[in-house]
Structure formats: structure tokens, C-alpha cells
Amino acid sequence: MPRRVYTHTVWLTDAVPTALDGNGDLPAGTFIEEFGSFLIGNFEPPPLAGFSVPSSSLVIPDISGYSSGSALYLTVVETSPANACPPGVGQPASYEFFSVELVVA
């Protein structure tokens, strides 16, 4: 069975992102914090250099500049690398992203 590798990069933003740059990242200046890239393996691939398994928690940076009730967003981009999905050869990388609203207490 073919192995597929999906990376997930997590950001904290103060607006819902509407687009990614050409590398599948949020454009510079559109996020508060980048928490890093995490590896999600399908069919148990070996670990890839530069990626870690998802954390069970994330440390929110100083958000004291945001008033109570302000909306922040946890945004996750899933990346499927080039040639990773059937039929494989010649397939470009693909990206999907979603955001979850967080409310400052």
C-alpha cells in the first residue's frame, strides 16, 4: 500500500486567512505566531527530517494587546507534497486550510 505523508502547519491569526502564498504558507505579516509544522503519516511512514509529531498543546503568545471578546483564529494548513497522491508522478503539491475562532477572555 502506498505511503502518504501530510504535514500540518499551525498559525495564530487575528483575521480569517483567505489565501496562501506559493509555498502553501500564510503570507508574511498576516499571522501573530507560527507554531510549526507537524507530520501526520498515513500508513506509518518513517519520520521526516524537520517535522515533529503534533503537540498535545500549544502555548499562546502574549495577546495582552487584544481586548476581551476579540476574535483570534487558529489556522491549520494541510500539505500533501508533490507526487504524493495517485497517480503520483507529475502531481503538484496540494494545500487545504481551515480556521477555528478563539475568543480572548
* Residues of the domain holding 47: 4-103
**pLDDT band for position 48 (50/70/90)?**
low
Place of cell 502518504: 4
Domains identified in the chain, total number: 1
Q: Are 13 and 75 in contact (CB under 8 A)?
A: yes
| CA dist., res. 76 & res. 12, Å (int) | 9
| CA dist., res. 27 & res. 102, Å (int) | 21
Q: Are 82 and 23 in contact (CB under 8 A)?
A: no
| CA dist., res. 99 & res. 105, Å (int) | 19
**pLDDT band for position 39 (50/70/90)?**
confident
Model pLDDT for residues 50-67, shown as the tens digit of each residue: 667 777 889 999 999 999
